[in-house]
Structures are given as C-alpha cells and as structure tokens.
Chain A
Amino acid sequence: MSMNLHIKNGRVIDPANGIDAVQDLYIGDGKVVAVGSAPDGFTAARTIDAAGLVVAPGLVDLSVRLREPGYEYKATLESEMRAAMQGGVTTLVCPPDTDPVLDEPGLVEMLKHRARNLNQANVHPLGALTMGLKGKALTEMAELTEAGCIGFAQAEHPIEDTTVLLRAMQYAKTFGYTVWLRPQDPHIGFGGVAHSGPLASRLGLSGVPVMSETIALHTIFELMRASGARVHLCRISSAAALDLIRAAKKEGLAVSCDVGVHHLHMTDADIGFFDPNARLTPPLRSQRDREAIRAAVLDGTVDAVCSDHTPVDDDEKLLPFAEASPGATGLELLLALMLKWAHEQGGAADGVLSRAIARITADAARTAGLAAGTLSVGANADVVLFDPDARWTVAASSLASQGKHTPFLGYELAGQVRATIVAGQVAYER
C-alpha cells in the first residue's frame, strides 16, 4: 500500500476534466482521492511543493519499442523503463515486432510479468494480427487478449493479401478488438528510405511516395466499411492521408489515428547530408505535410501523438543512410517536443497547452481504450510533475534510454520532468 501524497501549489492540467488551474492534488492508496481541498481526515505522509510546476496525468505513449524479447542488445526493459520514468511516461503501448513476435499468449504474459515486476510504467502490448506478422494466418486473438494484449497490429509488415486483412478485421470485429495499422502499401515505396521528393532525388535515395500511405488507407477504409471493424491508424505522415482520415471520421467510420512526434517538427530537409539519425519510418516528409500534421493535432483529426520510441545501437546506425536501422529514441523527448509544438502554436492562448497535454494523455488513453491519462477522483494516481520552462540539451549523456540516436541531438528543449508518480508511488524524481 502506498503512502498518502499531497502535491501542493502546482498548476494542475487535467484535460479530461477541463482543469487548468493552480490546485492541490491528494493521493491515497494509489488513487487520486481529491483535487482542490483535502478530503476529511487526510494526512499526508509526504508533501511535494509543486510551485512553478505543471501537475498532469502521467503520459500515455502509443508506440514504444522496448526491444524485448529478442533485441536486448539494443535496449532492455530496465533501461527503457528508466527512460519512460525520466520522460514522464506512465502508460505505454508496445508493438508486436519483437523476436519472437508477440503472437503467442505465453510471450505476452512473460513481457507483462517482467514489466510488472519493475513496477514502473504500465506496459500494454499489441498482439500480432497474423502469425509471425507474415500476413497469412490469424493469431489467437481472444487468448492473446486474455494474456493482456489491448489490440492487434502488423507493425512494419503490411499484409500483402487483402483477403487476409479483411478476414483479420472481420475476426477482430467479432470480439470488439481494435486493429492497429500503419497504412503502407506492401509494394509501392516498400524498402524506400526517404520521402519521394526533390531531396530524395538529389541525394539518390530510394523514395517512399505519399501514395504508399494513401493507397493503403483507401483499402483499409473499404475493408472497414465491409467488416465494421474499429481501426487505429499508426504514425500518419502526410497531408493527403490526413485529408482522407478527416473525411472518414466525418463519414462515421470507427477510426482514430496518431502521429509520431518527430513529424510534428521535422521534414526531409533535416536529413541534410545523409544524417542517419533522421532515417525514420515512416520517413520525414515535406514542409506541407508537416504543417498539415501540426494543424491536425490542433483540430483533433490526430487523436494522439506518440514518441515512436525505437532504440537503435551505434553499430546499426553508423552506416550509410539506406543501411542504417530506422528509428529514433523518443520516450524522453515526447513531453518537451509537445511543449515546443504548443509554444509555437501560441502557447497559453486558447488552451493550446491543455490540448498538447491531452494528445499525450487523455486522448491517447481513450484511443487505446485504456483507463489512464486522467486525474479524476478514483483514477490510478499516475502523475507527472514537470517544469515547463526548464531548458535542457538533448545529448547521449542526458538520455536514460539505451538508444542514443535522435535527429534532435544538440537541440535545446524546454520542459523537464521533476517527478513521475506511478500508482501513488514516486518512481522518479530529480
């Protein structure tokens, strides 16, 4: 049983309840017991003075590669959980492209068990939609759900046979499961390493055209209409795709989507002269795409922003651009990069900060069907305290993650976590 905590004088931002005000937060038995004034008979075992800090729900990150099982040389649960705590992320969803793939209940149970023992972020795996992510045979979705999967995904392995994708969506619909798909055509642009455009042409890099994303979206939407399945679209990268999603939502399809936080700030121009740190999947796109993503996060077409955390080691990154492993470390940058976006949108005006927090807490949790991301009375006391003005420089030495590669290396960012509380326990503080 955790001790009673009193967090006083902080600026509480709880988008789910429309709160943005300096208030006190009271935590007992691992739950939020009151916001505002203390409940009768509450005695705090510890009081934290959060003056000057923002008190928000712990962050909910919809795409975090923990690299376990199978890729422990890139990262381990221990290192990445420390990174989560340092980044204020208390709930995370991990894709099934581990080795072995998360297609058997035993593997999921083991991962959940390992994560629970560390007693840090809540880990919610996505199960593989098809065995071995091979796009041929369905997995035991009901069994996997019992083991702890919250949805089913293909990660970076698009299903070639549209019949199989239809069957998978029909089966998922039967049990009310959500299918998580990153829209990408299995042929056009598959194996490409940069956005098809002037930069890729100039540098002689093989391209991933926007139509790789939009063709896949058209297919997915048709299959949704046929199957009635609920789909969450992962890491949308283009303006054209966002237009299609906006229309699909208007039509009433049960669809939600997220974007990776890198795409909120960077474009293919950030590849510069073959910087392998800017080799991401999906690729960084044009400035027009970036502006559309920024607007869609503001207007809610984009439901959630994720870190797309992908630890990659030196041996796999210090290679010619196309041979370098795609991905960047992100858990510890998510908050600061969302604050940067909010600041660039006009900061405090019109509740932009609250909206920025929503996309990485309440909205993300709702999208994933998770009871998290809020400071409602009775909710699990997963809380982050951060100084929105504290500046820090992104450097390998400042990151707890085993992945040290990010295109933001050297950037000075504002917003640093001071404490991360999981189920009422202070799991990290600085």
Chain B
Amino acid sequence: MPTLYNNPQLNKNGELQHLLTIEGLPKAIINHILDTASSFVSISDREVKKVPLMRGKSVFNLFFENSTRTRTTFEIASKRLSADVINLNIQASSTSKGESLLDTIDNLAAMHADMFVVRHAQSGAPYLIAKHLNDTKQNHVHVVNAGDGRHAHPTQGLLDMYTIRHYKKDFTNLRVAIVGDILHSRVARSDIHALTTLGVPEVRAIGPHTLLPGGLEQMGVRVFTDINEGLKDVDVIIMLRLQNERMSGALLPSAQEYFKSYGLTPERLALAKPDAIVMHPGPMNRGVEIDSQVADGSQAVILPQVTFGIATRMAVMSILAGGHA
C-alpha cells in the first residue's frame, strides 16, 4: 500500500513533534498546552521574567513573509525560556539568491538549530519543512507554524482559546462568532478547528459572500451574512483584520461600506450577551472592522490576548523542546 502522506506533526507515539495546525490535534494536547501556558502567565509579572527551560537551545525565526508583531512575540517567548534566538528575514536573503527552501532548511539545521518558527505566504510551507526534517532523520528539529498563507496560525488559535478559557471557564456552553474576511484568514481556520475540538456547541462565521469560503458547514460552522442576526446572544466575538488590498476591488467596494455593513459598533455589540468579550488578532483597523469605542471598551480583551500570546507560545515551545506533550 502507498506510504500515506501523514500529518507529520505527531510522532509515532502520538506526541507533538511539530505544531503545524490545530486540525486533528487531540483535545488532551490542546488542554495540556493551555495548562502549561497558565503556569507561564505569572512569570511575566515577576521581576526576573526568565525560566531556564530552553537554555542552550537555538530557535530560528524564519520569516519568509513580513510580520513584526508575531516575530516579536516569538522572540520574547524564546528569550523568557532562555533560548538563543536568531531572526532571519528570508525574503531579503538566500531565496532571493535562488537557494531553494529546503536547501535553506538543511543549512540552518546544520548550524544545530533546535527549532524553526516559520512564517510563509504559502499554505502548507511548514508541512514541506517538517516532512523534509522527518524524512531526513532530523527529528530533533521542531517546526512551529507561525502562519502559512490562508491555512493555519495555530499559536494564534491557541492563545485565543487561552483567552476564552480565561474569561469564560467552560467551552461547552458557548456561542462564538468570527466576523470578517474568513476567506483569507488563517486565524479563522485555526480558531474554528480549536473551538470545535474543545466542544463549543455553536461557532458562527459572519461576512459577505465574497469573503466566505465554501465548505464552512462541513467544518461545523453556521454561516451568517447579516451581522445583526449573527451576533445575537453570542458569548465571544472574534473580529478579523481586513487587509488593505481587500478593501476595494471585486471583493468589497469600499472600507466605508464594509464598516457600515460589518463593523463592530457599540449598537451591534449590544446584540451579544451582556458579558460578551471582544477579541481581535491585531493589528486593528479602527473604523474599518471595529469602532474605537468598542476597541477601547470594557468588553474588549485585545491587549490581554497579546499578553496571553507570549505565555501560549512559551508553552508550545517548551513542550516541543521537552519532547513530550
């Protein structure tokens, strides 16, 4: 029989070898990551914000696509774990000289990398890297997907789950709405898989038809095009960033009309449960997807998300480096 093109993120014993996607990740592993993250949250409040869990380990941030924010949070998380961090902006270096992606990986692995944090514009790129490392018996090198194309952003998904758990305690009685450009969003995909795995009974996607991919129902999602209907009685609202290049053209006529139809205003927020929380993966476009009054309001947990994001990334990296999940 053919050698199956398996998900390379779990090893033969079902332990986390790489973190590539939340899809198919066992609930027990997600909970273990969230529990571990919770133990790291308090470290950030200490005077000495470091633990020696990854002392002597080298973490390579491989950013084939620009992202100051995500790269910075991974860098901070690595440093708090006492790892050595090397930042590589690959756009500007080897691949532009014609070196292939896998040649770059082999070279960096030869420099005794322990972990690659990979951001890439193409869906599936971290899989190619992880599979290559597995196939070439470089199993000691771990890959963390820091966002690949439209496919996945698993650490963002996990930090979102951490945030929801922090405020709502239990997943099994929640209604969660994800609003905006679902079509191009890796965050939405990772959130959907995480929420359904953790037992959220109702996940909603809200947006115009041009920004909704087909097949959402098969992922266990209820689709709404009317935001007023979609926000009714929800416990959690996850707003998505609308990229500049999508604000006018064949997908949407203008940012103004988008805000009018889908922007989160105080009036719309009032349709959700009174204790609903508002999340956003950042960076926000005030006045495009979210009103400033909401972004700065008491229900917004956007800044705590950032803080929890460091702890969650520390949890993922320390679990991978420790070789057990």
Is the CB of B219 closer than 8 A to any CB of chain A? yes
The proximity string for A residues 5-40 relative to B, scoring 1 for CB distances below 8 Å and 0 otherwise, is: 000000000000000000000000000000000000
Highest count of chain A CB atoms <10 Å: which of B1, B2, B120, B152: B2
Interface presence of A221 (CB below 8 A): no
- Indicate if A323 sits at the interface (CB-CB under 8 A): yes
Q: How far is the CB of A206 from chain B (nearest CB, A)?
A: 8
Check: B110 CB closer than 8 A to any chain A CB.
Answer: no
What's the Cα separation between A272 and B127 when bound, in Å? 11
Q: Is the CB of A412 within 8 A of B1?
A: yes
Q: Count residues of B near A (Cβ-Cβ below 8 Å).
A: 34
Query: Size of chain A's interface in residues, with CB distance under 8 A?
Result: 28
CB distance from B104 to the nearest CB of A (A): 12
Q: Is the CB of B3 within 8 A of A204?
A: no
Alpha-carbon distance between A203 and B190 when the two chains are bound, in angstroms: 11
Knowing A318-B128, A319-B101, A319-B128, say if A273 contacts B151 (CB, 8 Å): no
B123 engages A320 (CB within 8 Å): yes
Cβ of A176 within 8 Å of any chain B Cβ, yes or no, is: no
Across the interface, do B215 and A321 meet the contact criterion of CB distance under 8 Å? no
Query: In whole angstroms, how far apart are the Cα atoms of A356 and B227 in the complex?
Result: 54
> Is B180 interfacial (CB 8 A cutoff)?
no
A201, A207, A410: the one within 8 Å of B2 (CB): A410
The listed residue (A201, A204, A319) touching B149 by CB distance below 8 A is A204
- Inter-chain residue pair count (beta carbon < 8 A): 87
In the complex, which residues of chain A have a beta carbon less than 8 angstroms from the beta carbon of B4? 272
CB atoms of B122 and A196 under 8 A apart: no
**Interface stretch of the complex, out of B5-13, B52-60, B154-162, B229-237:** B5-13
Q: Is A205 an interface residue (CB 8 A)?
A: yes
What is the CB-to-nearest-CB distance from B320 to chain A, in angstroms, rounded to a whole number?
A: 18
From B101, B120, B132, B219, contact of A198 by CB (8 A): B219
A394 smallest CB distance to B (angstroms): 8
Q: Which of A278-315 contact B (CB under 8 A)?
A: 315
Q: Which residues of B contact A207 (CB under 8 A)?
A: 214
Majority secondary structure, B binding face: loop
Please indicate the chain B residues that have their CB under 8 angstroms from the CB of A198 in the complex.
Answer: 214-215, 218-219
CA distance A234 to B160 in the complex (A): 47
Closest Cβ–Cβ distance, residue A408 to chain B (whole Å): 7
Instruction: Please name the residue on chain B nearest to A323 by beta carbon.
Output: B122
B186 in contact (CB, < 8 A): yes
Which residue among A199, A202, A272, A409 has the maximum number of chain B CB atoms within 10 Å of its CB? A202
User: Quick check: is A197 within 8 A (CB to CB) of the other chain?
Assistant: yes
**CA–CA, A197 and B219, complex, Å:** 12
Chain A residue with minimal CB distance to B100? A315
Q: Which residue of B lies closest to A322 (CB)?
A: B122
Min CB distance B123 to A, Å, is 4
Residue ID in chain B nearest A275 by CB atoms: B5
CB-CB < 8 A to B50: which residues of A? none
In the bound complex, how far is the Cα of B218 from the Cα of A235, in angstroms? Answer: 29
A274 within 8 A of B: yes
Quote the shortest CB–CB distance from B143 to chain A (angstroms): 13
CA distance in complex: A199, B122 (Å) = 16
Q: Kindly state whether residue B266 has any CB partner on chain A within 8 Å.
A: no
Interface assignment of B287: CB less than 8 Å from any CB of chain A: no
Minimum distance in angstroms from A53 CB to a CB of chain B? 27
List 15 A–B pairs whose Cβ atoms lie within 8 Å, in order of A's numbering: A196-B214, A198-B214, A198-B215, A205-B123, A205-B149, A272-B6, A275-B5, A320-B125, A320-B148, A321-B122, A322-B124, A409-B3, A410-B1, A411-B1, A412-B1
Closest 4 CB pairs of A and B: A204-B150, A274-B124, A198-B215, A204-B151
Known: A272-B5, A320-B148. 17 other contacts (CB 8 A): A197-B214, A200-B213, A201-B215, A201-B219, A202-B219, A204-B150, A207-B214, A273-B6, A273-B124, A274-B123, A274-B128, A275-B5, A319-B101, A320-B101, A320-B125, A320-B149, A322-B149
